[in-house]
Chain A
Amino acid sequence: MDIPYTVKPRPDTGLYNAKVGIWLFLASEVMLFGAFFSSYILLRVGAPDGFWPDVATAWPHGLLNIPIGTFNTAVLIISSVTVLLAWASLKEGNLPKFKKFMAATILCALGFLAIKSYEYNEKFTHYVIRLKDGTAVTGHLDIDGKSPRFWSLATVEAKKLESIKVHVDVPNQFRYPVGFKHGPPAEAEAKEGGHGAGEHAAREIKTADIALLQAFIPKTGTFFAIYFTMTFLHGLHVLGGAIVMAYIAFVGDGMWKTDPERYTNRIEVAGLFWHFVDLVWIFLFPVVYLL
């Protein structure tokens, strides 16, 4: 049985069916991401800035790598251009050129995921430590020269470590929320340790003094919960898009010989999805990295 309107436009819509289909799917995706962005706004607006009064509910700043995030944004934008060039190559009837641009697109997608994984790992080895005297620092642990993943105070106690070495973060401009150009009020500054001139080097912290030691994982607090949820969901879309595009371009390319128009339409539909993934990141990048 032939599937109708894979190439010819349906008289009432004026479009081939897959195009209506992908736009309906993207409409549902808008609602999905819209719900997450709404959650983000609620959490963001309701949370006090920094790690106060509570690590779990407050909204820390400056803990994501902005240059890497910017680079990853560029990677995704470039992949959006290459997928268009791939589609345009098919329109010219140039299959080898199409495959080159599809390969470039898929490489960009994998590059994006590799960079995102690196960023995730950076967070899994990055810690907030709150001391019993009320001060807090962020930084990397130094256990035999490297910072382990996913440790907690329970891990330190289980290993019977009397103290741990911590490379305290050098605070950057983004440590402060928007609108606090000159940093937080002095009282908060005093409570958030690690800002003094001599404190950037390694610091030995006694286990008995620690109230909380936590790697940056979803359960750390609302910021990381929404950061990991949204970027992981977006990452799944990148992965899904890459798999589908790789399949169409390098496994299902036999259709180019039997039904070139339908094949070209498949690429157009995959491209529409891919641009949507780019579009989500355009909003996701500033809200989680910059604001």
Chain B
Amino acid sequence: MSDPTHSGAAEAHDHGHGHDHAGHNKIYFVIGAALLVGTIVTVLARYWEFNSVALTVAVALLIASIKAFLVAGYFMHLLSEKKMIYLILATTAAFLVGMVGLILWSDADLPRGSTNKIHYVP
């Protein structure tokens, strides 16, 4: 769809591309189903539990990242976009990493001998 010759009504009333659309729609269904399965796996992963905070969080975020890739890549067609869009997103990613990094950096600023995490200490 990013291809200018492939968008808009030049094609809108052209039924000759019916097979092409059917192919696209099939991809959308497959990705949609994969996202639903991913959601169920995320929930199941929490039920299973891994007896490790780091592993549980890592698994949940890994599945979420895969789902995000599918949405961005196929639903938002980012796998085949124009350079301008990639440029915008690369800039955003750099600023996002900077912002999140600087905010989370504050968590490293703790007094000696103290801990930032207390588990069930009444």
Contact = CB atoms under 8 A, between A and B. Distances in A.
Main secondary structure of the interface of B (DSSP, over half): helix
Interface stretch (A22-30, A138-146, A148-156, A193-201): A22-30
Contacts of B49: 173, 178-179, 181
B71 A80 contact: yes
A246 to B, nearest CB: 20
Interface in A5-42: 7-9, 13-16, 19-20, 23-24, 27, 30-31, 34-35, 37-39, 41-42
Nearest to B49: A181
A262 B8 CA distance: 7
B2 A42 contact: no
Contact of B71 (A78, A188, A275): A275
Contacts of A187: 120, 122
A27 B91 contact: yes
B103 A42 contact: yes
Nearest to B54: A179
Contact of B121 (A27, A46, A48): A48
B26 to A, nearest CB: 11
B75 A93 contact: no
B1 A78 contact: no
A152 to B, nearest CB: 24
Contacts of A77: 32, 35-36, 39
A74 interface: yes
Contacts of A49: 119-120
A31 B96 contact: yes
Main secondary structure of the interface of A (DSSP, over half): helix
Interface stretch (A83-91, A111-119, A121-129, A204-212): A83-91
B60 A291 contact: yes
Interface residues of B, number: 69
Contacts of B12: 90-93, 260-261, 264
A50 B120 contact: yes
A52 to B, nearest CB: 5
Interface stretch (A161-169, A224-232, A235-243, A278-286): A278-286
Interface in B1-38: 1-2, 4, 7-15, 17-18, 21, 24-25, 28-29, 31-32, 35-36
Interface string A247-259: 0000000000001
Given A15-B2, A42-B104, 15 more contacts: A8-B4, A14-B2, A15-B4, A34-B100, A42-B103, A42-B106, A88-B25, A179-B53, A181-B49, A261-B7, A272-B76, A279-B68, A285-B42, A290-B42, A290-B43
